[in-house]
Structure formats: structure tokens, C-alpha cells
Structure 1
Amino acid sequence: MTKIVNHWIGGKPVEGASGTFGPVTDPATGAVTTKVAFATVDEVDAAVAAAQDAYVSWGQSSLAKRTEILFRFRALLDANRDAIAELITAEHGKVHSDALGEVARGLEIVDLACGINVQLKGELSTQVASRVDVSSIRQPLGVVAGITPFNFPAMVPMWMFPMAIACGNTFVL
């Protein structure tokens, strides 16, 4: 039986309703090993709505809390890098060393996101002109979306979502 990958919306799996699937083939044999459910407009809307709902609290969460979660994600990613590389090899045909390199490049951005709290502090410049002070604050934007290419399934998404999440945004991939 072919494995089916459905959606992840609002913190739980959601079976695709479109009835349309994209095949994932084993590059070595050409056999279809997995089917990925294509989303309906309603499912995309539900994912965005769930991200908007999550943003209400996540956008107000402290830098310390976001950093703590990102460090836990980083630890899980590091502990499972070989298994992730195996999936990339099975689904995309990259040799294992290239797939491990892709995970490593993604981990570099997760590392950056874990330390972003310093860059998010904002700035204050006093007396930039006579009796004029200038300040800036950094605030999350809201829901951020990423559309990524097929040929870097781990690295390119990790160039996007860790930074968005670290900055207090929610993310739809």
C-alpha cells in the first residue's frame, strides 16, 4: 500500500479532501512510494486561519520562550539528521552525503535563529538633531508563507521558517 502524506493544520494531521495527489517516486526504481495530498482552497484557508489563531499568542510570546523552543527544535533536528537525510535520499535521489549537507545548511540557519534575540532588541539614538531622539522597535508581522522548490526539501524551508518563528511570526509552508 502506498503511503499518503496529508496536511498538518492547527497542530494535528488533516486528511486531504481534494482527492488529488502528487506522486513521490523512488528515484532508483521509479516506483511510486508515497502520495502527497493536494490542498483545496478551504484547506489552505484553514491552514492560514490556524496560523492566524496561533499568532495571537505566539506574536506576544517572549524572546526567551521562542528561543527555548527553537533550541529544542535544533536538538531534535540534530539528533535526527541522518534519518532526515535518508528521507531526502529516498524521495529525491541525492546521495546521502549531499542530503546530510542539506540538513547541515538548514541547521546553520536554525543556529542563527536561536541567537536572533540580540538583533530583535531595537535601537535608540538620542540627539540625532536638536531635541530629537529616534527609536525603533522590532515587532512580528503575523502569518508568513513559504513556497519552496522541490530540489532542496529540507534546506530551503529551514532558510525561512526558523527566522520567521524566531521573530514572533507564524508560518505556513
Structure 2
Amino acid sequence: MTDLDLIDRKIVAELMRDATLPVAQIADKAGLSQTPCWKRIQKLEANGVLTGRVALADAAKLGFGLTVFVGIEAPDHSAEWREAFAKATDAIPEIMEVYRMAGEIDYLLRVAVADMIAFDRLYKRLTDAVPIKNITSHFAMERMKFTTAYPVDTLSR
């Protein structure tokens, strides 16, 4: 973990909340002037603390009204299977996130699709691409909380 001072944590927290803020506003909230703030932002990017700036979109308004969490059990744990699985999931843009897990399932996927018909097409495409021991799907009925901002401590230590 990178050891960030209070000012860096404030800058990161503001950017996670709203990356469109002008540097002047971020600087003000962090207690800096613009130039030192901008230099810190560049350093945070260079050090990999800040990995990108994106716009968040409403999935339903873009036609992705169904979120599915898919648990995958691998038939084996070989490097070859992992590579084939990674290639297969990379090739399916509706698979938004892939995690290798500890516990009962080997991989957890977050999938965004239009509807059940689109999910069935994705399911077939994935299972045709790579052998899978077991697959379980959990359909989200309501998103009750969502954030992309980590709970960075912005209080003095």
C-alpha cells in the first residue's frame, strides 16, 4: 500500500467523488494552491494510485437493465485453463468484472445485459468457449448501494 499523507488522501477522495472538478476546487478542499495540487495529482497518477478517470453511466438507460452475478467452478486449475478462461471473458464485453475467488466458487463475474435472452446468449457463448465444471447465476433485483469511491480516511491522524 502506498503511504499517502492527509493532503493526498483528500485529493484522492475528491477525485473519486467527482473527477470533473477543476483543480482549483480540489486544491481548495485539500488546503493547497493550484500548482502544488496539480503536481500531487500527477504524482498520484504516476505512482498508480489514480488509475484512470471515467464517466459513470446509468446501465438501464444504456439498455443494460439486468445485472447478473455468475459463480464459476473450474474443471481444473491449470495455467492453460486459466489462460483460456481469461481470453474467453475478455472477449465478452458484457462481462464487466472477473474475480478469482477463495472458497466455494473459483471465479465471480459481474455481467450487465439487456434481458434474460441476452444473458442466455452470453451463457452459451461462455460455456462454448471454455469447459466449466459448474456455473451458478444470481440475478440482481435491485441495486441498493453503489459506489466507486473507496472510503479513504480524510481526517488527520
TM superposition score normalised by structure 2: 0.26
Structure number with higher relative contact order (C-alpha < 8 Å, ≥ 6 residues apart): 2
- Structure with the bigger percentage of strand: 1
By percentage of residues, which structure has more helix? Answer: 1
